[in-house]
Amino acid sequence: MSKIMIVYWSGTGNTKMMAEQIGKGVLSEGGEAEVLEVSGVKAEALKEVPVFALGCPSMGDEVLEEGDMEPFVEELERFVSGKKIGLFGSYGWGNCEWMRDWEERLKKAGAQIVNGEGITVLGEPDAETLENCMILGKSLAMS
């Protein structure tokens, strides 16, 4: 089993909390997790990685964070075909359109979304969301 990279951007700490819980899920299955802020990772680092997770909250008009995460995802789209990706993030308003758009973008690029859809939560992750993040981590470790 290779190391599972969990790359995220977080403004308030909610998405970071989700990333850390996904890492715990990976560890619970005997895997190795690396939880990293997107600003410290180059997309190229994921080129040979078959399974990973990406997290970002909804920003502005239900879009990805534009300074770090959007350019990172744009670069990833060139080589994610065949990869299994877990998606997650929090939001403050809206109806999770940013997550549906993100899922669709990556599917169009040939990626498989682990567990079929991304995990979203309004505001701070509650117990159910944290359990779903743990399950996502376990799924990533078993992929």
In the 3-class helix/strand/coil scheme, how is 78-127 assigned residue by residue? CCCCCCEEEEEEEECCCCCHHHHHHHHHHHHCCCEEHHHCCEEEECCCCH
What are the residue ranges spanned by the domains of the chain? Answer: 4-142
This prediction's pTM: 0.96
Q: Which two tokens stand for residue 46?
A: 């994921």
Query: Measured at the alpha carbon of residue 31, what is the angle toward residues 49 and 36, in degrees to the nearest 5?
Result: 55
Kindly report, residue by residue over 28-81, the tens digit of the pLDDT: 999 999 999 999 999 999 999 999 999 999 998 888 999 999 999 999 999 999
Does domain 4-142 fall into CATH 3.40.50.360?
yes
